[in-house]
Structure 1
Amino acid sequence: MTDERLIADLHNRWVFGWERNAGDDPFDFRRVFGEFYDFDSPDVRLYDDFDPEQRVATTAAGYGSIWEPGFREMISAHHVVDDGPHVVADLGLAASTLVFVARITLPDATTDIRTTSSLVWRRTPDGWRIVREHNSTKVLPAGALDHRLPARRIT
């Protein structure tokens, strides 16, 4: 398998690592994403503008601490890849970009989003790991994804 195909597979699997279903175990970032992020690198930079505080994490563990509280409260999060991944890889670095849509259901609200995700991967002795992340998200009108994702279920 080429590095490009391997990175494409990793980016696709990364998207679906964010899936949540009612009754799932509490969200544990390191357990879910330990094979994707470089938890030991001193030069990690991870950013997602869906974070209300728009923080830039400089460690994978720090990035996880941004997302764990919200994902533990979620009833569900369902994703569909719309475009990509598109990958370039050379020697020890690779970049991948894809677009996904998602429906996020909290106890009191459902939000549909469209996100462009760009990841930079570094080859490590343990395999390819994310060292840079930038996600740009647009909140869609309510119900925009009704035809593509499960209906809102609030219990």
Structure 2
Amino acid sequence: MIADLHRRWVFGWDRREGDAPFDFRRTFGEFYDFDSPDVRLYDDFDPEQRVATTAAGYGSIWEPAFRGMLSAHHAVDDGPHVIAGDDLAASTLRFVARIATPGSTTDIRTTSSLVWRRTPDGWRIVREHNSTAVLPAGELDGRFDGARG
């Protein structure tokens, strides 16, 4: 269950040319706990390295960037690896992505760690930590069908 959720979460970040404008809540409403006061979400790929304390606040970090992308293609490299209890679970996976913006293409490798809490609506993310390394240009060539910057 948690492994499938984490995999689906990764591919929620995919963007294709011509997609509707990125809407964080519409895309990730089933994944994040939008009501919890315990949320802490961080991704070092954010140039300002902010820690969001709400899912909506996290969305406000990523919506402008993802609306400016031409495409974003992801693939899971390792995992997910899950530890789960009755009400809390933790999952970790590593993914690669090719992000194309007007004028540039960036290849990345990210380790993603999520903490999930069981709610009446299902498992929801309450903690997130992503650590990203930018890869040498072209390192992911041939990895994604149709993903040419």
Answer whether TM exceeds 0.5 for this pair: yes
Provide, for residues 69-102 of structure 1, a one-character-per-residue CA deviation record: whole Å limited to 9, x for no partner. Answer: 0100100000010000000001100000000000
Aligned pair partner of 1:116 in 111, 119, 132: 111
Provide, for residues 86-127 of structure 1, a one-character-per-residue CA deviation record: whole Å limited to 9, x for no partner. Answer: 000011000000000000000110000000000000000000
Who is 1:148 aligned against? 143
SS of residue in 1 equivalent to 2:21: coil
Provide, for residues 43-64 of structure 1, a one-character-per-residue CA deviation record: whole Å limited to 9, x for no partner. Answer: 1000000000000000000000
Aligned pair partner of 2:20 in 10, 25, 42: 25
- Counterpart-to-counterpart distance in 1, 2:85 and 2:32: 19
Identity of aligned residues (%): 82
The count of residues paired between Structure 1 and Structure 2 equals 148
User: Match for 1:21: what amino acid?
Assistant: R
User: Match for 1:71: what amino acid?
Assistant: F
Q: Are 2:92 and 1:90 aligned?
A: no
User: Match for 1:152: what amino acid?
Assistant: R
Please, which runs of 5 or more residues in structure 1 have no aligned partner?
1-5
Q: Are 2:102 and 1:104 aligned?
A: no
- Counterpart-to-counterpart distance in 2, 1:148 and 1:137: 18
| TM-superposed deviation, 1:147 | 2.4
Please, which runs of 5 or more residues in structure 2 have no aligned partner?
none
Who is 1:74 aligned against? 69
Who is 1:10 aligned against? 5
- Counterpart-to-counterpart distance in 2, 1:87 and 1:43: 21
Alignment of 1:56-67 (within 5 A): 56-67=51-62
User: Match for 1:60: what amino acid?
Assistant: A
- Counterpart-to-counterpart distance in 1, 2:9 and 2:43: 14
2:76–2:95 contact (8 Å) kept in structure 1: yes
- Relative to the length of structure 2, the TM-score reads 0.98
SS of residue in 2 equivalent to 1:111: strand
